[in-house]
A and B are shown apart, each in its own frame.
Chain A
Amino acid sequence: MAEEKKPEEKPEEKKEVKWYTGMFSTEDWWAFWLGSFFVILGVIAAFTQTPLTGWIVSFKTWTSIEKSIAASHKELMSPIAALITSYIIFTILTAIGAYFMKWKLRDYLLAWTIIFILATISYILGKNAWISAPSTKWEKYGLESGLQLGGAHYIFALIIGLIIGNLAPKKFKEFIMKAARPEWFIKIAIVALGAKLGLKAVEFPGYATHLLVAGACATIAAYLLYWPIAYYLTRRFFGFNRQWAACFASGISICGVSASIATAAATRAPAIIPVIISAIIVIFATIQLIVYPPLLTKFWFNEPISAGASLGLTIKTDGADAAAGELLDEFMRAKAEAMGIMWEEGWILNAAVLTKIWIDIFIGIWAFLLAVIWVRYFERRPGEKVPKIEIWLRFPKFVLGYFLAMFLLMALGFSGVLTVEQLEYGVKPVEGALRKFFFLLTFVCIGIVTDFKKLKEAGIGKVALAYALILFGIITPLGLFIAWVFHRGMTPPPAS
């Protein structure tokens, strides 16, 4: 999850921290600020019925390339103008974040521009009708055949990223890494996804509540089972020491990178432990992102929401989880559409993201508990107390944006202040076009930061073996089971 805290930082270092620490210097907070800004802009547009969000570029299924892009509000500007405006506004806003996070602005801007162009090319290519249109729409596009690869744009983006991450010259790769921030981009998209869930909740109030409650229950069960099982196996079977086992168990069972770092801090483990575990987590999450959505679509099509929730329970980075959820949503709906079943977009994705978000929420509490256990039982530091502010500091702040967006839209919709149509006018470009474009950016960036050679470095292949065995042998089957127990029988509402 959160990678705003670099693994190179020594977890044992103590710093003076306040509740607002990091508010303008971490990716997590900047995802909250930018995501919330876009959602609020959408809400203002809904109130005033002015096209404040109409400039956001939207990518369409196409047979002639000039129809591949459009402004979200077509009457506002030409497609090219929308693309350029989107580039300028996204660039300015993310550059403000980059400036406050003290990144090298010039490098960021150049690398960001390349990533933006790559994402745009992937999006346009993948949305070609022959590649992506389901058979039910061939007639509409004048086709007699096609590949029916719903979500192909994400696959293209990932492949382009992986090529750069693994085959590009070292200098170019180092340069483009300056803006390859998959966790940041996905968190901005997830805040926008909160707006989508809020909007859908107004349309389908019972369904959204069910998904929220079921996701929370699945998370509680998973936390209490995953962690102790992973800890026990690594300690007893693989011979890890306590600090290794704790960081490993948190990484593989909770929320990947940030949980591993938080646990290292809580248990005062050497910095090298979360560094090695983080590298493994990122690589395996990418493998899961590639493998799980097609497998789930093929073998678990009758349980689409369970399948979505299982991603949240088994994929250990927010970026890969949400990306896999988006892919699964596309794959499942494309398969359903080919069978004449029309499902509302986004519910499978929301199941994947919601379970992951519940897991993220509990990181702070879990790290706090581990710190208390370590102080009290293993390190026996008499008189030392663990400050409760640790819970807040470990809390993923972008989650606040997600819930803020969701509850704001629900409040406006349920109270009757705005109708669904009015809300859609302002917010749809944010929860639709903008969110999907940031997903695309995430796919390119995940590919760039995934370096398979890292598995060979420093002998971490040995730890990776333990990770693979537990991930595929324990976490995944248990995740599938828990997801099924709490979501069985649920399917997305019919498309309106």
Chain B
Amino acid sequence: MFELIKLLIINQTGEQEPWDKIESKLVLGSIIAGIIALILLAVVINVTILAKY
């Protein structure tokens, strides 16, 4: 199923380009930063603002 979807879409979205290491670093960096931001900000907001509700 997923392979079929993949095949259908490839024709529409340009020739495939090899996955670059720098893409891994950027994606991983952003996701890690996002998770850290989510946790830190959630703690701050929950302890301060949301504690009042």
Contacts and interface: CB of A to CB of B under 8 A. Distances in A.
Interface of A: 206, 210, 213-214, 217, 220-221, 223-225, 227-229, 231-232, 234-245, 276, 373, 377-378, 459-460, 462-463, 465-466, 469, 482, 485-491
B9 A238 contact: yes
B10 interface: yes
Among B6, B33, B42, B49, residue most surrounded by chain A Cβ atoms (within 10 Å): B49
Main secondary structure of the interface of A (DSSP, over half): helix
A463 B12 contact: yes
A215 to B, nearest CB: 10
A377 B9 contact: no
A465 B16 contact: no
Contact of A228 (B8, B9, B14, B34): B34
Contact of B22 (A228, A377, A463, A486): A377
Contact of B34 (A221, A241, A487, A490): A221
A202 B42 CA distance: 27
Given A221-B37, A228-B30, A489-B50, A241 B13 contact: yes
B38 A243 contact: no
A460 B12 contact: yes
Contacts of A221: 34, 37-38, 41-42
A237 B45 contact: no
A425 to B, nearest CB: 32
Contacts of A487: 50
A217 B37 CA distance: 8
Nearest to A458: B12
A213 B45 contact: yes
Which are the 3 A-B pairs with shortest beta-carbon distances? A224-B34, A241-B14, A225-B34
Interface in B28-53: 28, 30-31, 33-35, 37-38, 41-42, 44-46, 49-50, 52-53
A230 to B, nearest CB: 10
Contact of A486 (B2, B45, B52): B45
A122 B6 CA distance: 43
A240 B20 contact: no
B45 A238 contact: no
Contacts of B16: 239, 241
Contacts of A225: 30-31, 34-35, 38
Contacts of B14: 240-241, 243-244
Contacts of B20: 377-378
Nearest to B29: A228
A489 B35 CA distance: 22
Given A213-B45, A214-B45, A217-B41, A239 B10 contact: yes
A150 B10 CA distance: 45
A245 B41 CA distance: 28
Contacts of A234: 13
Contacts of A223: 34
Contact of A466 (B9, B23, B42, B46): B9
Nearest to B7: A239
A228 B45 contact: no
A491 B53 contact: yes
A466 B12 CA distance: 11
B31 A237 contact: no
A237 B6 contact: yes
A214 B44 CA distance: 10
A462 B11 contact: yes
A490 B44 CA distance: 16
A276 to B, nearest CB: 8
